[in-house]
Amino acid sequence: MISDERGGTYAEFVLAIIPVLMLSLGILQLTELYTAKLLVDHASLAAARSAVVVFADDPRSYAGEGVSTLGPHRTEAVRLAALRAMAPFVVDGSFTSVRVEYPDGAGAGFGSPVTAEVHAMYRCRVPLVSPVACGTTGERELVSKMTLPSLTARFSYDGGGGAMGLKRP
């Protein structure tokens, strides 16, 4: 029998550190993924809050797009509100794309529901465990939806009266 036990500690260390390292990296990746999901939830709230105001705002502020319409200027203003809420992860490149959808439309009248649904592609970047958390592409789509009542005014923006150009029906 061989009685030399030198190096045995190193072999045991290597065998023990691999699972501990994988567990630690996995926890780190899941923490980042959960934080990203919280940011997407916050972005959907910011987008919904913005949408109830923007979709009801004066058409002159949005290149003449009508009130309660999903024109490009209005939808871009709402998308920017969502992006601002996600700024830390957008700036560092964790989100590769962000889009906002409106399943209920732009709200037909005062109190009608306006839903903003934020879809964000999150890029997992923790080595060794990202394929487990995000698949072979290394990305995972995070989705959040928020609904708020429309704040469409009960007057029209036709420039017909008053100091602000508002006209009561």
pLDDT, tens digit, 9 for 90 and up, residues 119-168: 999 999 998 898 988 989 999 999 999 999 887 766 666 654 444 444 44
The total number of structural domains that make up the chain: 1
Q: Is the residue at 4 inside a domain?
A: no
Mean of pLDDT over the chain: 85
Asked whether 78 and 116 are in contact (CB, 8 A), the reply is yes
Instruction: Reduce the DSSP state of residue 112 to 3 states and report it.
Output: coil
Residue written as token pair 């009508």: 66
pTM: 0.80
Q: Which domain holds residue 77?
A: 10-153
Is 5 inside a domain boundary? no
What is the crossing angle of helices 8-54 and 72-85, to 10°? 140
In the chain, what is the greatest distance between 2 CA atoms, to the nearest angstrom? 103
Task: Specify if 91 maps to a domain.
Answer: yes
Judge whether 23 lies within some domain.
yes
